[in-house]
Chains A and B, each alone.
Chain A
Amino acid sequence: MSLGRALSSYRLRIPLSLVAASALTALVLGSVVVLQTWRNVERDLVTTGRQLGDALATAVKPALRHDDVWRAFETLRASQGTLFDDRTALIVVDARYRVFAANKPRRFPVATPLADAGATYAALIDKLGAAPPETFSAFPDALPDRWTLLIPIRQDGVSMGALLLVYPDTLMWPRFQAIVGDAALSIALLMATLAPLGWLWGKRITQPILSLTRSMSRVGRDPPGDIRAPMVDRDDELGALTAQFGKMLEALKEKDALEARMVEQERLATVGELAGGVAHEINNPLYGLMTAVDTLRRGSADPRVQRSADLLERGLNQIRETVSALLVEARLDGHPLTRQDVEDVRTLATARYSSGVLSWDNRLQAPVPVPATPIRQVLLNLLLNALEAAGTAGNVACRVVFDGETLTIAVTNSGTAITPEAQAKIFRPPQETGGSGGLGLWVTHQIIRGMQGRIEVDSDESSGTTFRVELPVSGGQYRPANAAGSHRG
């Protein structure tokens, strides 16, 4: 990863920013210290210079009074100390600014006007006026790169002259450097402590951002259900952001589910249209058959003919309703489910598969307020599937129970168990399962779902395969629809 790209990431930018911020703080702090130290040293030097000057002026005064150049020179020469080293000029002038003595006699010769020492000194004297000032004066820039302190030498209220203390700005350097050096060391130590802390803190801040970024970058690439919002238990913007991202993931999941349902509905609609066409084609001859059966019954009193006619009529009704049931949306006939409806399904199923053992347990007594046709179709589908799966030597058990709230249908067969993989896809449309499930179970599933019920499968080698349907039944929810109104075709 190039440095530029690395720096464009918060992974480095925030820790580096914090380190930079502490460095900047140290820099600003250091600058303030430097500036303040410079001022302090400058002020200290003036104070110290004034003290030295006062002492020197006192010591030099008798020599000045007695015209004793040597004494004055000795005093000035002896006062070169560690602070005011040999770069400092000490000049005693008389009241007319003539050099009386100086510690640098070659630069400031005895008994010459101070103005002769150079134009800058001449300018300084012009500034000072005819006679030396009566009080201590400090001139930071009267002479280039030099400080000038003037200590008046007075006796009995009369000016005898002055002591000039001229030192270069650079005199402050050693002290300044020493103090600044100490400060720099302290700040460096502070930085050495703060920078790693800043780095670690920055890492701590960016860590959730990074995991959030990683999670977010998966959106659109991976299904929302596979993406987990990072765990950020924080009471700040980042926490809010993460929580919001979690909500967004939920919304995405819901949207995907909705889309999936819509796709299913569309397919269903297609199938429904197809089925509607088929139903129409079947219904036309069917009504003729039903009229014929009705005619047959009316025209004969033979009880066997009557029974056959009844069976035919119920069979034809079954066909009509089955065809209608293919139109999922259209509930053709809505008579409540009766015990006889369930028994009819048994008759229809066993007529086709007579072999094997069917254990039948129909516990319905009173009519159950659910549409009979779809339930009959569901039961028939399940039963036919079970009988087929059980084979000639297998057993099939069917149980239909209504407890006042829920209608439960359980159909068990002893055939080969369904693998978990197959179970997972068993209620999918046939084109998705590759034809393994068949249309029956998918239609069954759609019917049950349309009625807000549940269907589940439970399969293993020991107890066989059980399809269990649970339908919620509430008295007010189902009203028998007008058969004519819902008739399609």
Chain B
Amino acid sequence: MGGTRAAIRSGPRPRYRLAALVIGLCLCTVLTLASAWAGEPIRIGLTPVFLDDQVSLLQRWRGYLEEHLGRPVRFVQRTTYSEINDLLARGRVDAAWICGAPYLRQRDVVDLLAVPVFHGEPRYRSYLIVPADDNRTQGWTDLRGKVFAYSDPDSNSGSLYPKTVMRQKGLDPDRLFRTSFFAWGHRNVVEAVASGLAGAGAVDGYVWETLRRFEPGLTAQTRVVERSREFGFPPLVIREGVAESTRDALRRVLIRMGDEERGRALLDALNLDGFTRGSPQLYQGIGDMIRAEGPQ
């Protein structure tokens, strides 16, 4: 560019003007190509619906997505579901992996992008767990006077479902326990129950099974008392307003992860079979519970 300015200052001379034009064209091409690769990053919000503390897995997954999308990908991680919901609502993330309940609550701003497939189905369960040394607790009615660990106020498996089932059984979640607390993550619920901090807890069945596979020592300190009926697996959603091309590209990359070696390795690390298109009908059961609970 200095060369160009120098040419202007010293007056237009045909030979320099041609050279300047060539250099300018080249620069433009390079910059366009670079911006096409760099582009605007796709920002994907992550919540503890899976084991989001596996940093190296996340790096590899991000690299995989960038390579297949041809543009940068940024993972945005927050501790609570509501923070990611908020980011989605304000357009600060383009997509997010959230729980079924928040998805339903934000259906006006987000669309279903893809649903993980676990044990062959895009579904999962909520587990009621107690410490392994507690061999007396057989169901919800045995939880009186215990300390209960929920995972997240916006979680289906870790909050909505257990509260619903307790009400159905005529138990008052606010009075049943000595005290209860949110552990802000399914893994934390498992740890709280395993350590004895909580006498019982509600946990995402997928997370518990994944922990059982990768950290059997931790889950061995807990005992599953009850497995819930199946619900739609926490989905990946995309904000309305994200370009159709981006939406399609992202969905295609996710769904095709199982088609090649590196994708399969990533899916294995995530303890998933793959991703599927999914449909809102999957979340019918959660929707029923939200309606039963009434407006928040």
Task: Please list the residues of chain A having a beta carbon within 8 angstroms of any beta carbon in chain B.
Answer: 67-71, 73-74, 77, 101, 105-106, 109-112
Interchain residue pairs with CB less than 8 A apart (25): A67-B181, A68-B181, A68-B182, A70-B181, A70-B182, A70-B183, A70-B184, A70-B188, A70-B192, A71-B184, A73-B192, A73-B195, A77-B195, A101-B197, A105-B195, A105-B197, A105-B198, A109-B147, A110-B178, A110-B179, A110-B181, A110-B197, A110-B198, A111-B179, A112-B178
Residues of A within 8 A of B188 (CB): 70, 74
Alpha-carbon separation in the docked complex, A70 to B184 (Å): 8
A67 to B147, CA, bound (A): 13
How many whole Å from B140's CB to the nearest CB in chain A? 19
In the complex, how many residue pairs between chain A and chain B have their CB atoms under 8 Å apart? Answer: 40
A101: nearest chain-B partner, CB-CB: B197
B287 at the binding interface (Cβ < 8 Å): no
Are A73 and B178 interface neighbours, CB within 8 A? no
Residues in A whose Cβ lies below 8 Å from that of B184: 70-71
A105 to B179, CA, bound (A): 14
| Beyond A69-B181, A77-B195, A101-B197, 16 additional pairs, beta carbon < 8 A | A68-B181, A68-B182, A69-B197, A70-B181, A70-B184, A70-B192, A71-B184, A73-B195, A105-B197, A105-B198, A110-B178, A110-B179, A110-B181, A111-B147, A111-B178, A112-B178
Instruction: Count contacts on B: residues with CB < 8 A to the other chain.
Output: 14
Separation in Å of the B86 CB from the closest CB of chain A? 18
Q: Please give the distance in Å from A422's CB to the nearest CB on chain B.
A: 115
Chain B min CB distance to A216 (Å): 85
Closest to B198 in A: A110
Residue of A nearest to B178 (CB): A111
Tell me the bound Cα distance from A73 to B195 in angstroms: 10
B179 engages A69 (CB within 8 Å): yes
Which residues on A sit within 8 Å (CB–CB) of B72? none
B149 contacts the other chain (CB 8 A) = yes
Q: Contact between A110 and B147 (Cβ–Cβ < 8 Å)? A: yes
A70 touches B149 (CB 8 A): yes
Residues of A with C-beta under 8 A to B173: none
- Kindly list chain A residues whose C-beta atoms are within 8 Å of the C-beta of B198: 105, 110
Q: Is the C-beta of B196 less than 8 angstroms from some C-beta in chain A?
A: yes
Q: Which of A67, A73, A112 contacts B197 (CB 8 A)?
A: A73
Within 8 A of A (CB), among B153-195: 178-179, 181-184, 188, 192, 195
**Which residues in A have their C-beta under 8 angstroms from that of B179?**
69, 110-111
Known: A70-B182, A111-B179. A106 touches B196 (CB 8 A): yes
Across chains A and B, which 4 residue pairs bring their CB atoms closest together, nearest first?
A69-B181, A106-B196, A105-B197, A111-B179
Chain B residues closer than 8 Å to A111, beta-carbon distance: 147, 178-179
Nearest residue, chain B, Cβ from A106:
B196
Q: Which residues of B contact A70 (CB under 8 A)?
A: 149, 181-184, 188, 192, 197
Whether B149 contacts A105 by the Cβ 8 Å rule is no
Which residues of chain B are within 8 angstroms of A74 by Cβ–Cβ distance? 188
Measured CA separation A111–B183 after assembly (Å): 16
A73 / chain B contacts, CB cutoff of 8 Å: 192, 195, 197
Give chain A residues whose Cβ lies under 8 Å from the Cβ of B178. 110-112
> Please, which residue of chain B has its CB at the minimum distance from the CB of A73?
B197
Docked pose: A77 CA to B196 CA in angstroms? 13
Interchain nearest-CB distance for B101 vs A (Å): 20
**Docked complex Cα distance between A110 and B192 (Å):** 11
| Residue among A67, A70, A105, A109 with most chain B CB within 10 A | A70
Question: How near does chain B come to A450, taking the closest CB pair, in angstroms?
Answer: 122
Q: How far is the CB of A80 from chain B (nearest CB, A)?
A: 12
* Nearest CB on B from A113, distance (A): 11
The smallest beta-carbon distance between A346 and chain B, in angstroms, is: 139
In the complex, what's the smallest C-beta–C-beta distance from A77 to chain B, in angstroms? Answer: 8
- Closest Cβ of chain B to A109, distance in Å, is 7
Which of chain A's residues have a CB closer than 8 A to the CB of B149?
70
B193-232 with Cβ < 8 A to chain A: 195-198
Complex Cα distance A365/B183, Å? 148
Q: What are the residues of chain A within 8 A of B147 when measuring CB–CB?
A: 69, 109-111
A250 CB → nearest B CB, Å: 96
Question: What residues on A are CB-neighbors of B197 within 8 Å?
Answer: 69-70, 73, 101, 105, 110
- The distance from the CB of B79 to the nearest CB of chain A, in whole angstroms, is 10
| B149 (CB) vs chain A CBs: closest residue | A70
Q: Which A residue's beta carbon lies closest to that of B183?
A: A70
Chain A residue numbers with a CB within 8 Å of B182 are: 68, 70
When C-beta atoms are compared, the residue in chain A nearest to B199 turns out to be: A109
Instruction: Please report the C-alpha to C-alpha distance between residue A70 and residue B153 in the assembled complex, in whole angstroms.
Output: 14
Q: Tell me how far the C-beta of A214 lies from the nearest C-beta in chain B, rounded to whole angstroms.
A: 81
Chain A's closest residue to B147 (CB) is A110
A67, B188: Cα distance in complex, Å: 16
Proximity bits, B137-149, A CB within 8 Å = 1, else 0: 0000000000101
Inside 8 A of B195's CB, which chain A residues have their CB?
73, 77, 105-106
Bound Cα distance from A457 to B197, whole angstroms: 123
In whole angstroms, how far apart are the Cα atoms of A336 and B149 in the complex?
A: 146
How far apart are the CA atoms of A70 and B196 in the complex, in Å?
Answer: 12
- In the complex, chain B residues whose CB is within 8 Å of the CB of A68: 181-182
Select from chain B the residue with minimum beta-carbon distance to A63. B181
Q: Give the residues in chain B near A105, CB-CB below 8 Å.
A: 195-198
CA distance A68 to B179 in the complex (A): 11
Q: When chains A and B are docked, how far (Å) is the Cα of A68 from the Cα of B178?
A: 15
Once bound together, how far apart are the Cα atoms of A336 and B179, in whole Å?
Answer: 146
Shortest B223–chain A CB gap in Å is 15
Identify the closest chain A residue to B184 (Cβ).
Answer: A70
**Measured between alpha carbons, how far is A106 from B179 in the docked complex, in Å?**
15
Chain B residues contacting A109 (CB-CB under 8 Å) are 147, 196
Chain B residues within an 8 Å CB radius of A101: 197
Q: CA of A67 to CA of B181 in the docked complex: distance in angstroms?
A: 8
A106 to B132, CA, bound (A): 13
Q: Report the Cα distance A374→B195, complex, angstroms.
A: 131
**How distant is the Cα of A69 from the Cα of B192 in the complex, in angstroms?**
10
Residue of A nearest to B192 (CB): A70
> What separation, in Å, do the CA atoms of A352 and B184 have in the docked complex?
153
User: Which residues on the B side are within 8 Å of A112 (C-beta)?
Assistant: 178
